[in-house]
A and B are shown apart, each in its own frame.
Chain A
Amino acid sequence: MEILVVGLNHKTAPIEVREKIAFDGPKLDQAVNILKTSDVVKENIILSTCNRVEIYAGVNEVNAGIEGIKDFISDFHKVPKDLLDKSLYIHKGQEAIRHMYRVASSLDSMVVGEPQLLGQLKDAFDSALKNKTTGVYLNRLMRKSVSVAKRIRTETKIAASAVSISFAAVELAKKIFGDLSAKAFMLIGAGEMAELAARHLINSGVKDVYVTNRTIARAEELAREFHGKVVMFEDYTMELKHSDIVICSTGAPHYILMKDQVHKIMKERKQKPMFIIDISVPRNIDPQINDLDNVYLYDVDNLQGIIDTNIQERAKEAEKAEQIVDEEIWSFLKWTAALTATPTIVALRNKAEEIRKNEVEKTLMKMGPMEEKTIRAIEQLTSSIVNKLIHPPTAALKAEEEDKEQMLGIIQKLYNLEIESDDNDKT
């Protein structure tokens, strides 16, 4: 059995191609079942997300398998094969295993370390299990991919730090306040990035939400969405003293909050810390405010700087992750090697031959000097008994597909055979 990956992702195919080839919704179950009936593809799993479509397959013959999968995609989606040739990548054997591990641990993603892909891969596997399209190899490989991803997540810091403005803001808020559940948050103005950051903060559990906007209707709309209170734009500085976290994003071309205002607010707050995020460009909040005690002011560039460092940090961690992938490929290959019948058959033959030889020797010793002809006859007799006894199990082992692993295990146990295999990481 050979493992194959045939697929395309955001790096090899534009969205126009990806959306044509996507197996979304009910198409997925349909597709795995069609592929199951194929002569060349013995096992299959299909992963389809907005950034990638990949078919993982176990095939007996690599080239036939590749062609079979290409034909299938082309037939299923009614796309010409030459379009596929331009965007598809194909990995076989060891590289296919590497690819699956890298996808699962999100080393192959647009943003390294993003956790969604592992969940999508699990869903793909569930759908394959439901439709019974996988066998020993892909089941094992899929479970292994999940455990490799988990190992990488715990042993490297690949997903440790925020790589988006809004997550960086939440991370900082947690480092300033610890627990956000008793904190009040004010959103001044609106804007895509500010709203996203606000949503993340609210999901992290801030208690009170205030919204203010020059356009009162917009403020009301956002307040409804965030379950917050509307504050009149004219009065928002009055309410600031109740706010621990402030996100500001207005279209004003000048500073709307000055140092002495915040100085006064801090006195009224008895110096309880304040975290102010100024997402506006041009900036709306006097940068000198950061000099005040217990006030922490971040603008877009500050947050972007943090994200840049985090991304570099992730890239460094990704190198460690690749090493883990290498190790794990090796361990999987060891397992597949043990799964092939040959070593067991050889061991069984050797064992039988050894027993035969010993017994013949013992008998010859007891009987004393004998004619050459008789000795040869005894040798022939014993050999043919042994071969006849061993033939049916070895033939059955070679032919077995479904429960090969189990059968090998039984034979190894029954005859007490020692085969080098990697059994310690069965999942």
Chain B
Amino acid sequence: MQIEINVLLFELALTFYFIATIAGIAEIFRGKKTTSRLAFYLAATGFLFHTANIIVRYVQGGHIPVTNMHEATSFFSWCVLILFFFHEVRYKLGLLSSFIMPIVFILMFSSSIFPREIKALSPVLQSYWFGIHVILAFLGDAAFAMACGIGIMYLLQERYVKSKHLGGLFQKLPSLQVLDEINYHLITLGFPLLTFAMITGVIWANSAWGTYWRWDPKEVWSLITWLIYALVLHLRLTVGWRGRKAAILSIVGFAIIIFAFFGVTLIMKGLHVFM
């Protein structure tokens, strides 16, 4: 049996993400800067294969490869990585790879479980809106994924400072304020992306099916996600729900996204069903 090039590229990316995740977790225990740099370069190498995989599938399928669960999950983790690299280079946060690379790897690993065939785009999906809608949606979700990782880091660091036991990861984790600010930036990035994704989705739905909104489970859960993050922003700006509360909400929000992404697609079938 001949191995397809896109499969090979995918497996390479997955392998590199796996090693990068191990290196990221090792950083927690070893705490040498070299380990963190190693995790970064491993992830970057995996990212090159991953990008090549997406390009190959784009060329073979003739459309952005997000039309089945395998492709969608893989594209999701690709978007998370873009944001990860940006933050790693821009802010040089200690232990970022320890908390983000596992998310990336789990997404990629889930992606590897789903069937990988490249299918022609069904006529209903053939629209300019398709590309714009999915890219906005996944970048938004990626920002929320990062906010979740940063939120976990915040909660850990907050517990050290509150409990006054400054052992463990206290020295290596970034300061509370930096984590809180980045968490906030990520949500202010993810929220408009999600909003525009929903608007383009609605317009596209109208052109494809003639109705703007059909209470499809995916639509409902996207609305719930949108409301959660709207609430996060609102509470922060009005009554100052920052720090711990914001961190918890961003973890809850991402849990709902993951549920909407996997749960709704696999359990409740709707318009967004790919296969």
Contacts and interface: CB of A to CB of B under 8 A. Distances in A.
Contact of A177 (B166, B171, B177, B241): B177
A161 B240 contact: no
Nearest to A291: B162
The size bracket of the interface on A is: 20 to 34
B243 A273 contact: yes
A270 B239 contact: yes
A358 to B, nearest CB: 53
Interface of A: 160-161, 172, 174-179, 266-267, 269-273, 290, 293-294, 296, 298, 302, 305-306, 309
Nearest to A161: B171
6 contacts: A172-B166, A174-B175, A175-B170, A178-B178, A271-B240, A306-B166
Interface string B164-201: 10110011001111100000000000000000000000
B37 interface: no
A177 B177 CA distance: 5
Given A161-B171, A175-B175, A178-B174, A302 B164 contact: yes
B67 interface: no
Nearest to A271: B240
B108 to A, nearest CB: 32
Nearest to A176: B176
A267 B242 CA distance: 12
Contact of B162 (A179, A270, A296): A296
Contact of B244 (A267, A272, A294): A294
Given A175-B161, A175-B170, A302-B164, A271 B176 contact: no
A174, A176, A267: most-surrounded residue (chain B CB, <10 A): A176
A161 B170 CA distance: 11
B164 A177 contact: no
Contacts of B167: 309
Given A290-B162, A306-B164, A178 B177 contact: yes
A174 B266 CA distance: 46
Interface in B203-242: 239-242
Nearest to A157: B171
Contacts of B242: 270-272, 294
Contacts of B245: 293
Contact of A298 (B164, B175, B177): B164
Nearest to A178: B175
Contacts of B239: 267, 270-271
Nearest to B244: A293
A294 B243 contact: yes
Contacts of B35: none
Most buried by A among B177, B244, B245: B177
Contacts of B170: 175
Contacts of B98: none
Interface in B81-104: none
Contacts of A178: 174-178
A263 to B, nearest CB: 13
B164 A176 contact: no
Contacts of B174: 178
Interface in B127-185: 157, 161-162, 164, 166-167, 170-171, 174-178
A160 B171 contact: yes
Contacts of A305: 164
Interface string B244-255: 110000000000
Contacts of A270: 239-240, 242
A305 B164 CA distance: 9
B177 A176 contact: yes
Interface string B27-64: 00000000000000000000000000000000000000
A177 B175 contact: yes
User: Which 9 A-B pairs give the minimum distances between C-beta atoms?
Assistant: A271-B240, A270-B240, A178-B175, A178-B178, A178-B177, A302-B164, A294-B243, A177-B177, A175-B175
A32 to B, nearest CB: 42
A271 B166 CA distance: 23
Given A290-B162, A296-B162, A298-B164, A176 B240 contact: no
A174 B157 CA distance: 13
A293 B174 CA distance: 19
Given A161-B171, A271-B242, A175 B157 contact: yes
B235 to A, nearest CB: 10
B240 A175 contact: no
Nearest to B31: A157
Contact of A269 (B157, B166, B177, B240): B240
Contacts of B161: 172, 175-176, 296
A272 B178 contact: no
Given A160-B171, A309-B167, 11 more contacts: A161-B171, A172-B166, A178-B177, A267-B240, A270-B242, A271-B239, A272-B240, A273-B176, A293-B243, A293-B244, A306-B166
Contacts of B162: 290, 296
Nearest to A301: B164
